[in-house]
A and B are shown apart, each in its own frame.
Chain A
Amino acid sequence: MNRIELTRNSFIKNALKSRYPQLAVFIVMLVGYIFAILAGLIGTPVGSQNFSIVFVWIAWWAILILIAVPFFGRGWCAVCPIPLPGEWLQRGAVLSPPDKRPKWLNLRVPKMFRNIWLQNISFLLLALFSSVLLTTPNITGIVLVAMLFAAIGLSIVFERRAFCRYLCPVGGFIGLYSQTAPIELRIKDKQVCVTCEGKPCYNGSQVGYGCPWDVFPGGMTKNTFCGLCMECIRTCPHDNIAINLRPFSADLAKPTARLDEAFKAFIMFGAAMIYPGVLLGPWGTLKDAAYNVGTGTWFIYAAVFLAIIFIVLPGIFTLGIMTTKGRQSLKQRFMSLSTALIPLGLMFWVAFSLSFVLTNASYILAALSDPLGLGWNLFGTANAAWQPMLTTILAPAQTLALVVGLVWSARTAQKVNEAGTSTIPVIIYCFVATSIMLWLLL
């Protein structure tokens, strides 16, 4: 299947080139974000009745993992409000034409941090505290504030969107899984970029800013680091940037060649396997350990969590691929074949989230009417009863997601595998992991 260029449609193209539709969405998102912070800090401490918990960890999470990431890749990043205040400060403007004089320090991010290890660490930090974070409104409020101020601080010190690119705990995994999405931003003709003077898509021009994500679109082959901010569509003087519809997981034909990205795949894969056991399983001891941060049992939980992600899963994977011989080094094969875990990891998250979201979605109606838990009834739904949704189709839907993920990963392994070596160990590894997920969820 070839690409279908969506930006050939003049309505879509004009909507993306204009800053106003995006700004309108940004403002709505920013208001919602700030309200979530306020609700977390001053609203009811009862998580299931607080806007911050219900809208961030149920509504937003459902939209993100079930729709936005699988179908739009980094579509969320295109409208995420977190970098906005910092970016407006950095530019000294909201909409006015770019002024190239730096307003702040405008430093380049040091080379040692130009990878996604910091994003891996920031995600793991949140993951280790997730039982508290997901259930305690003021902790959610504090984390949302911290992310906002981290983005502002990094915008003042460094050029472009350093927070989004190198630190955001959410952006890291969205980037990983955006490779599977059927949408991409790419150049139309490479030769046009080669001969283009000044590279305004990267360096900015009078009509727009240089790529906030520090990506030169002319060299982009994967979705991973493109935030779909649409700035390059505005600045390209040759109309050489397109938004395309494409087959799912087109980027995965080019295997990962970086250790930070390979470990991102394991981190997400492992976390998606641990959460169903901790949060959805019948084991109270495990929940106690995960929730009681700072106690001895929590430290054991954290150590086991990290050991599963950094030792057990990659270790078994490495032992599996060691049984096959190839021309590439073991490290290269490890990185390359870890690409196969990306589709299955995404489907693990989909299957886990279906259970979590469908069970708790009915809280949304009540939280809409009484977002702070103060006894309001804005839309007459404050007393809507909790009721799990679609429980009869949950198990078949989870099986479908996991089996599709297994097929998808097995095919990805075959695509990225070096010619002449077997992918059977990777397929068996994925099967065992899928069976564990099925046992945890069903």
Chain B
Amino acid sequence: MSYRLSLLLLVMAGLVVAFAPLPVQPITPQERTFEIDAHQFAYSPSELHVNPGDTVTIQLVSTDVVHGLYVDGYDISVEADPGQSATLTFVADKPGSFRFRCNVTCGAMHPFMIGKLTVGNNSWLYRSIGLALLVVIGMTLSVKQKA
């Protein structure tokens, strides 16, 4: 197979891996409530998994200083005073993986007070690893062709 044809096939495969729509299993949306404990400089629990369409309620409880919780991608936030709780409710209508982070300066490691919300499957991660795997296949084939 010529080099150009191989390259074309790899690029096309890459486009399919990156952008082809995946079959979606219909899941009935649910109401999900999480109580998140916020303290310098971590959330507990720090990883949340919900399904697309779920109505998510986060009760943020701060146990030391004022903390916030801002969800990347959703651009929503809530703040809780020490010893108090605050509630954030939203519909998880964007699938993927999103960091949530403290948006109230709470101490030295504040910029790194981070948690992770996964809505459905983290398909972009799998697509990205798929693209990397295609690179390996392409490079391995080119090595074998040269040999």
Q: Report which B residues bind A (CB closer than 8 A).
A: 41-44, 46-47, 70, 72-73, 75, 96-97, 99, 101, 103, 105, 108-116, 122, 124-125, 127-129, 131-133, 135-136, 139-140, 142-143, 146-147
Roughly how many angstroms separate A45 CA and B44 CA in the complex, as a whole number?
Answer: 27
A402 to B133, CA, bound (A): 12
Instruction: Add 12 more A-B contacts to A135-B108, A414-B143, A442-B124 (CB < 8 A).
Output: A47-B108, A48-B105, A135-B112, A279-B112, A281-B114, A284-B41, A284-B46, A287-B112, A359-B111, A388-B70, A396-B124, A427-B143
5 A-B pairs with the lowest CB-CB distances in the bound complex, closest first: A284-B42, A282-B46, A410-B139, A135-B108, A399-B128
B82 shortest CB reach to chain A, Å:
17
Interface, chain A (partner B; CB < 8 A): 46-49, 131-132, 135-136, 279-285, 287-288, 291, 359-360, 386, 388, 391-392, 395-396, 399, 402-403, 406-407, 410-411, 414, 422-424, 427-428, 431, 434-435, 438-439, 442
* Contact across chains for A442 and B97 when beta carbons are under 8 A apart: yes
- Find out whether the CB atom of A435 lies under 8 angstroms from the CB atom of B139: no
Given A282-B46, A283-B46, A424 and B97 contact (CB-CB distance below 8 Å) = no
Most buried by A among B41, B43, B47: B41
Which residues of B lie under 8 Å from residue A391 when comparing CB positions? Answer: 72-73, 75
- Which residues of the other chain, B, contact A403 by a CB distance below 8 angstroms? 128, 131-132, 135
Q: Is B128's CB under 8 angstroms from A136's CB? A: no
State in angstroms the CA–CA spacing of A439 and B97 once bound together.
Answer: 11
Q: Does B109 contact A135, Cβ atoms closer than 8 Å? A: yes
Known contacts A282-B116, A284-B42; decide if A291 and B109 are in contact (CB<8 Å): yes
Residues of the A chain whose Cβ atoms lie less than 8 Å from the Cβ of B143: 414, 422-424, 427
Chain A interface helix/strand/loop/mixed: helix
Q: Which residue of B lies closest to A403 (CB)?
A: B131
B136–A431 touching, CB < 8 Å: yes
- For A281, what are the chain B residues with a Cβ–Cβ distance below 8 Å? 114, 116
With CB as the reference atom, state the residue of chain B lying closest to A388.
Answer: B72
- CB atoms of A395 and B96 under 8 A apart: yes
The answer, among A46, A288, A428, for a CB contact under 8 Å with B136, is A428
Q: How far is the CB of A405 from chain B (nearest CB, A)?
A: 10
Complex-state Cα separation, A135 to B40, whole angstroms: 14
